[in-house]
Amino acid sequence: MSLDLQSLIDRVARLEEAELARNLLHAYAEALDDPVPEEVAALFAEEGVLSVPAGDFTGRAAVAGFYRDRLAGASEKRHFIMNVRTRPQGPGLVEVASYFLFTSRDDHASGLGWGTYLDLVEVEGGVARIRRKTITPHLATDLDQGWAVTGTPAGPRS
């Protein structure tokens, strides 16, 4: 099978864009571990959108405000991103789907949570920014409460 030079250049460009988008997720998790709302918002495009169950926050100022409200007095946290899948959406645009897990602790409680991220990332001039981030939380709990659902019969254990 022979590839023409332009096809090869296009394939390499898509791979580079996907890797930049994947690395942006790492930067996002790292920014949340030691949260400064403006640093988290700087990972978004100028008119980027953060979509969460509470609504949409458009633009860096609104995104920073969301994180400022949610992270005020934040405990020590760690964010883990896994099962990352990238899909090119066109030149300079990559969809990134992933699962996340976070742990937290403070003087009175330890927490745990997980869910999914669906990101649309734009890449321009070798820089990746989040155009749209959709966060779908599946669970957030403290370790005293746990994540078992009361009254639900236990399924088979493996």
- Hey, is 34 helix, strand or coil? coil
Answer whether residue 154 shows pLDDT above 80: no
CA distance 98 to 16: 18
Tens digit of each residue's pLDDT (9 = 90 or more) over 99-127: 999 998 888 888 899 999 999 999 999 99
pLDDT of residue 23: 96
pLDDT of residue 109: 82
Q: How confident is the model at residue 34 (pLDDT cuts 50, 70, 90)?
A: confident
Structure tokens at 109: 């409680």
Q: What is the mean pLDDT of residues 49-59?
A: 97
Other CB atoms within 10 A of residue 51 CB: 15
**5-142 is classed CATH 3.30.1360.120:** no
Structure tokens at 137: 């939380």
pLDDT of residue 153: 44
What does pTM read for this prediction?
A: 0.85
Other CB atoms within 10 A of residue 89 CB: 14
Q: What is the mean pLDDT of residues 123-146?
A: 92
The residues spanned by each domain of the chain are 5-142
Q: How confident is the model at residue 92 (pLDDT cuts 50, 70, 90)?
A: very high
Answer whether residue 25 shows pLDDT above 70: yes
Backbone φ and ψ of 141, nearest 5°: -150, 165
CA distance 144 to 39: 32
- Hey, is 108 helix, strand or coil? coil
